Amino acid sequence: MGTFLTTGALREDTSEVVSSVTPLPLTPQSPTIINITGSVDQTVILPDATLMIDGIHFIIVNSTDKFVTIQDYTSTILKVIGPTLSITLYLVKNATPAGNWAVMGSGGEVQTKATLLHSQPVGVVVPEFTFGITTCQAKVVDYAIKETTTNQVRTGQLMVAVNDLEETVAIQDFFVETANIGVDWDGAVNGTNVEISYTTAEEDSHTNKDMTATIKNILF
């Protein structure tokens, strides 16, 4: 971990990384401050915590207009960082490879834009809505959906509750819409993550849709 004193001040090594579809694995020797630039979403994988000492931290800066997903060493999602935002992760306990990480900074109320494709109408997972089952037990999503051809609009609030012991997910959608745009939501546990998916109606009148959402994670 590149942290040392210079001219009487604490200095931390930094690294600028151009975002890529390839996940970025960190190591115990990685710079403390990681600045993500570029034009695509990026996944960052934290090191094996058993190879590090408690108290180590990483600062992840998202300098893009895309999303940066932080996973622990076992691929559990710890946080999705919204555009132009940052978080700090402190290793609290290094007893397991996943470790126990404390996340400082909300990463913002994540603003996301996605396209719901009619060509894949059944059970399509929305990556920006995915979260680790042990890191978040409730999620509220304020969203708006607009069909690209008919301009029909739905605005609503998707409420998600998780029992991490029983690995059960409850999901409820409250909405109003100018006409039926044919989108239904579902939630399920997949490994260590909770995945939220959508299904669109099969009728030809239901076409591609644009969605904008504000995601709020609620912790206990």
* Domains of the chain, residue spans: 3-104, 110-218
Q: Which residue has the higher pLDDT, 156 or 166?
A: 156
Reported as a pLDDT band with limits 50, 70 and 90, residue 4 is very low
- Enter the CATH code of domain 3-104: 2.60.120
**Which of the given ranges, 76-85, 134-143, 191-200, has the highest pLDDT on average?**
191-200
For residue range 110-156, list pLDDT tens digits in order: 555 566 665 556 788 887 788 777 767 888 888 898 887 788 899 99
Other CB atoms within 10 A of residue 16 CB: 13
CATH architecture of 110-218: Sandwich (2.60)
Q: Does 110-218 match 3-104 at the fold level?
A: no
pLDDT at position 128 is 74
